[in-house]
Homo-oligomer: A and B are copies of this chain.
Amino acid sequence: MADSQNLEVKIDNPEDSSQWQENEGSSDENSKWYTKTILQSELADYSPVKGCMVIRPYGYALWENIQQALDKMIKDTGHQNAYFPLFIPESFLNKEKEHVEGFAPECAVVTHGGGKKLEEPLIVRPTSETIINYMFAKWIQSWRDLPLLINQWANVVRWELRTRLFLRTTEFLWQEGHTAHASEECARNEAAKMLGVYETLAKEFLALPVLTGEKTANERFAGAVNTYAIEAMMRDGKALQAGTSHYLGQNFAKAFDIKFQNAASQIEYAYQTSWGVSTRLIGAVIMGHGDSFGLILPPKIAPIQVVIVPIYKTEEEKVMVLDACSKLANELKSTLRIHLDDRDGHTPGFKFNHWEQKGVPVRLNIGPKDIANNCCEVVLRIDGKKIQKQPLADLKNYLTELLDQEQKRIYDRALAFRTENTVWANSMHELEEKLNSHNCFVQAFWSGSTEDEVNIKQNTGATIRVLTKHDKKGSCIKTNSQTNTVAIFAKAY
């Protein structure tokens, strides 16, 4: 009787990331791996509409789990969801100068409706500052109306030339927060608070250790005073911007006339923020954790946390094994997202590969001998580690703890990888040398100019991902002046 062990196929070293790391210099190989992983695991598919993708059920379930976690945090911090029109009159976009310059080249434009040419073209929202702030002006009169804390879950459209599944698509799903406050301090606190919410989401749910900090003027949101971001390191050493929070000052308030009477009866413009994360987070999870076998999904957001693969040879065994597996799945389904792979016509080996590709954190192999011994075999996705023969009794508590442990291990693995691939540079020469040697994060004291950044990008392909503050001061590698600002340089998606 074979039971599960002999049927194990290429599980000994599923973390064959060496193979993938070898190819890190070749963006083509990474790119192929990324696309293949998405298509094979059925997260998404190409659509017949240029630059637009179809999010398949497995990918959408992942998004729903991310949404659910974030939505709760957004509500717990006092925000309310609402919904604003998809279409924005063209004239609205023109009201904030920097905003229109940033977004006009990316717009999809509706020129006809109901068989007629429209008097004013409508823009399909690339982001909703303009339409939402138009409404804010209507709703806000007094300091009593503030803060106004609104969030929207929606689709947005940006006409991208180079598109990539989840990372950069013409249409994508996101949430966009828009708030108005009675003082600069309140608005700045809000921008910082929501950056913190994104950091928590990334760390605790996506198992991604992110860096937080401010963007340079170069990468600031069109119309913002300050843009803050969370940045994650992908398994190829490149950076991915995973979420942004903007302090908008009074820029949009002035453009849209959002005024309020303050407690001293004076009229003031409101202070504002906006912040958003998108389906790009799924791309971050894929590239932040995956290996050559496919996806590795953190248990907290995995659509399937535990998969049961029944193992049998004869019809008699099949009946017995499937019966026991069904009972087990039913027992566990109230506490875990569990799936029993009872498909006929596929070997256990095929199923092992299938669920490894799909990144299911924990697999239970159950054969006739296991049932006789009242146990099962547990296999962990990260490293293919097998935990020999776990008793079926009290499996619920065991798996709950195991999933917590795996969530932590996935985070620790990503953190260790980032730590290994983060270095300091004490001179411009060192910076460029390190950035050109392999994909990594290079830290350096920095007070350089936008022009200096552009030069570095030309020489290395890397940009400043975020600016952070160090406890001590050091010499800027470009200007030599003393500063406690540290720039994180990296090549980015």
**Interfacial residues, chain A to chain B (CB-CB below 8 A):** 45, 47-49, 52-57, 59-61, 63-64, 80-89, 92, 104-115, 121-122, 124, 131, 134-135, 138-139, 150, 154-155, 157, 159-161, 170-171, 173
Task: Check B131 against A57 for contact (C-beta < 8 Å).
Answer: no
Task: Check A115 against B105 for contact (C-beta < 8 Å).
Answer: yes
A104 to B113 Cα, complex, angstroms: 10
Interchain Cβ contacts under 8 Å between A and B, 9 examples: A52-B86, A54-B82, A57-B80, A86-B155, A107-B113, A109-B110, A110-B110, A110-B124, A111-B111
Assess A47 versus B109: contact at CB under 8 Å? Given A60-B80, A80-B57, A150-B57.
no
Task: Check A113 against B122 for contact (C-beta < 8 Å).
Answer: no
Assess A88 versus B49: contact at CB under 8 Å? Given A80-B60, A83-B60, A107-B114.
yes
Q: Which of B49, B81, B86, B170 lies in contact with A89, CB distance below 8 A?
A: B49
Assess A138 versus B45: contact at CB under 8 Å? Given A61-B80, A109-B113.
yes
Across the interface, which residues of B come within 8 angstroms of A48, CB to CB? 89, 92, 131, 134
A48 to B155 Cα, complex, angstroms: 19
Assess A112 versus B108: contact at CB under 8 Å? Given A48-B89, A131-B49.
yes
In this complex, the member of A64, A88, A135, A160 whose beta carbon has the largest number of chain B beta carbons within 10 angstroms is A135
Task: Check B82 against A47 for contact (C-beta < 8 Å).
Answer: no
Q: Which of B45, B83, B104, B160 lies in contact with A135, CB distance below 8 A?
A: B45
A122 to B86 Cα, complex, angstroms: 15
Task: Check A114 against B124 for contact (C-beta < 8 Å).
Answer: no
A432 to B45 Cα, complex, angstroms: 55
Across the interface, which residues of B come within 8 angstroms of A131, CB to CB? 47-49
Across the interface, which residues of B come within 8 angstroms of A157, CB to CB? 86
Task: Check B114 against A159 for contact (C-beta < 8 Å).
Answer: yes
Assess A113 versus B159: contact at CB under 8 Å? Given A49-B122, A49-B131, A85-B171.
yes
Across the interface, which residues of B come within 8 angstroms of A115, CB to CB? 104-105, 107, 159
In this complex, the member of A92, A159, A161 whose beta carbon has the largest number of chain B beta carbons within 10 angstroms is A159
Task: Check B110 against A82 for contact (C-beta < 8 Å).
Answer: no
Copies in the complex: 2
Across the interface, which residues of B come within 8 angstroms of A61, CB to CB? 80-81
Across the interface, which residues of B come within 8 angstroms of A170, CB to CB? 113
Task: Check A111 against B112 for contact (C-beta < 8 Å).
Answer: yes
Q: Which of B49, B53, B84, B107 lies in contact with A54, CB distance below 8 A?
A: B84
Q: Chain A: interface secondary structure?
A: mixed
Task: Check B85 against A54 for contact (C-beta < 8 Å).
Answer: yes
Across the interface, which residues of B come within 8 angstroms of A150, CB to CB? 57
Q: Which of B63, B112, B138 lies in contact with A109, CB distance below 8 A?
A: B112
Task: Check A60 against B86 for contact (C-beta < 8 Å).
Answer: no
Across the interface, which residues of B come within 8 angstroms of A81, CB to CB? 57, 60-61, 64
Task: Check A111 against B113 for contact (C-beta < 8 Å).
Answer: no
A119 to B88 Cα, complex, angstroms: 23
Task: Check A83 against B173 for contact (C-beta < 8 Å).
Answer: yes
A442 to B413 Cα, complex, angstroms: 69
A171 to B110 Cα, complex, angstroms: 13
A160 to B161 Cα, complex, angstroms: 33
Task: Check A85 against B135 for contact (C-beta < 8 Å).
Answer: no
Assess A49 versus B85: contact at CB under 8 Å? Given A57-B150, A60-B80, A135-B54.
yes
User: Closest approach, in angstroms, between the C-beta of A40 and any C-beta of chain B?
Assistant: 14
Across the interface, which residues of B come within 8 angstroms of A107, CB to CB? 112-115
Q: Which of B56, B80, B134 lies in contact with A82, CB distance below 8 A?
A: B56
Assess A171 versus B86: contact at CB under 8 Å? Given A47-B131, A122-B49, A135-B47.
yes
CB-CB nearest 9 A-B residue pairs: A114-B159, A57-B80, A52-B85, A55-B83, A109-B112, A113-B159, A49-B85, A111-B111, A108-B113
Assess A84 versus B47: contact at CB under 8 Å? Given A110-B108, A110-B109, A112-B108.
yes
In this complex, the member of A84, A150, A154 whose beta carbon has the largest number of chain B beta carbons within 10 angstroms is A84
A171 to B87 Cα, complex, angstroms: 9
Across the interface, which residues of B come within 8 angstroms of A114, CB to CB? 105-108, 159-161
| CB-nearest residue of chain B to A161 | B114
Across the interface, which residues of B come within 8 angstroms of A113, CB to CB? 107-109, 159, 170
Across the interface, which residues of B come within 8 angstroms of A47, CB to CB? 84-85, 131, 135
User: Closest approach, in angstroms, between the C-beta of A377 and any C-beta of chain B?
Assistant: 28
A483 to B157 Cα, complex, angstroms: 53
Task: Check B108 against A82 for contact (C-beta < 8 Å).
Answer: no
Q: A49-B131, A56-B82, A86-B155 are in contact. List 11 more A-B contacts (CB 8 A).
A: A48-B89, A49-B85, A49-B122, A52-B86, A54-B82, A54-B85, A55-B82, A64-B81, A113-B159, A113-B170, A114-B160
Across the interface, which residues of B come within 8 angstroms of A124, CB to CB? 86, 110, 124
